[in-house]
Amino acid sequence: MAVLALHDLSCYSKSSITVVLPVLEALGIETAVIPTAILSTQTDGFSDIYTEDRENELVAIYGKLKEIGTEFEGVYTGYIATTSEIDAIRSILSKESGLKLVDPVMGDGGELYQTLTREHAEHMMRLVRGADVITPNFTEAMILTGLEDGIRKVGQRDIYDLVSVLRSMGPEKGVITSVPLIAGGLGNIAWSDDEIRMFQYDDLGVSYPGSGDLFASVLFGLLVRNESFFGSVSHATGIATSAIAYAKESGRDRKLGITLKPVMGEIRRRAL
């Protein structure tokens, strides 16, 4: 069993590839990684970031992997540095028949990340259309649907509207993460075909970069292992919220990103 992960590499601070690879390996999944960009740090909490896209290398490495006969049971995308790189990855997805999970990493807290533009969001919409599963956070869901009007708490009608628009883009399954709820707390809103389920959890008042990568990586890995969709969402939600709680309790500097140590044992147990 092998999968392909197309994510950025942040050289310092825990996110993207430094979260994705250990999680998938802990689930017993052989993982090929092609960096979409090299960053000095993750983008949330640091300024004057060095970033360089890897479009040429991405295309070349993918070609070499296919030349040696590598077959992938799934492809999982995250942060993508440029619009032309998004288009290159769309071409890669069109060549693959396995599970395609797109995490449309673009922003958080109601804003695009400092390295991205609105044009980037428009290209990301095209990538989303080719996915089987998507995992936008609340901000990214609002951007993709055009329903954004600032961060607010949402109710049942808002959830239905968001899911309806995202589902109309093509993905049969998806999860909107970190949705602020009128009923209190936060929720991961998951849909599969015509069914919508909410996985509610406490708002701890802090977020850590990389927690979305942790959630999506666990979800992707479980789905590749042919576990049920809603069961996988539930397990991924529990893993991610436990990691956030541990990071907060330990006083971890949020800009250093999520820490995996307290949840790796549970992730490995799932692979048995």
pLDDT, one tens digit per residue, over 153-207 is 889 998 999 999 999 999 999 999 999 999 899 999 999 988 999 999 999 999 9
DSSP state for residue 259 in the 8-state scheme: -
Chain CA centroid to CA 121, Å: 15
How confident is the model over 8-22, as a mean pLDDT?
96
pTM for this predicted structure: 0.96
CB 131 within 8 A of CB 171: yes
Q: In which region does residue 90 sit, left (phi positive, over 0), alpha (psi from -120 to 50) or beta (all else)? A: alpha
pLDDT confidence of residue 116:
85
CB 214 within 8 A of CB 258: yes
Give the separation between CA 20 and CA 18, rounded to whole angstroms: 6
Average pLDDT, the chain: 94
What is the fold, at CATH topology level, of the domain defined by 2-267?
A: UDP-N-acetylmuramoyl-L-alanine:D-glutamate ligase (3.40.1190)
How confident is the model over 80-100, as a mean pLDDT?
96
Q: Where are the domains of the chain?
A: 2-267
Helices marked H in the chain — which ranges? Answer: 17-26, 55-67, 83-95, 118-128, 138-145, 156-168, 211-224, 229-249, 261-270
CB 212 within 8 A of CB 103: yes
pLDDT confidence of residue 71:
96
The larger pLDDT score, comparing residue 206 to residue 109, is at 206
How confident is the model over 10-19, as a mean pLDDT?
95
Of 192, 189, 205, 200, whose CA–CA distance to 244 is shortest?
Answer: 205
Whether the pLDDT of residue 272 is over 70: the answer is no
Here the tokens at position 2 are 């092998």
Contacts 24+ apart (CB under 8 A), 230-234: 230/190, 230/192, 230/197, 233/175, 233/188, 233/190, 233/197, 233/199, 234/199
CB 187 within 8 A of CB 199: yes
- pLDDT tens digit sequence for 126-158: 999 999 999 999 999 999 998 766 567 889 998
Give the up-direction half-sphere exposure of residue 254: CA atoms within 13 A in the CB hemisphere.
13
Give the separation between CA 95 and CA 71, rounded to whole angstroms: 11
Whether the pLDDT of residue 111 is over 90: the answer is no
Q: Bridge-partner residues for 190, per DSSP?
A: 175, 197
CB 174 within 8 A of CB 191: yes
Of 198, 196, 164, 166, whose CA–CA distance to 179 is shortest?
Answer: 198
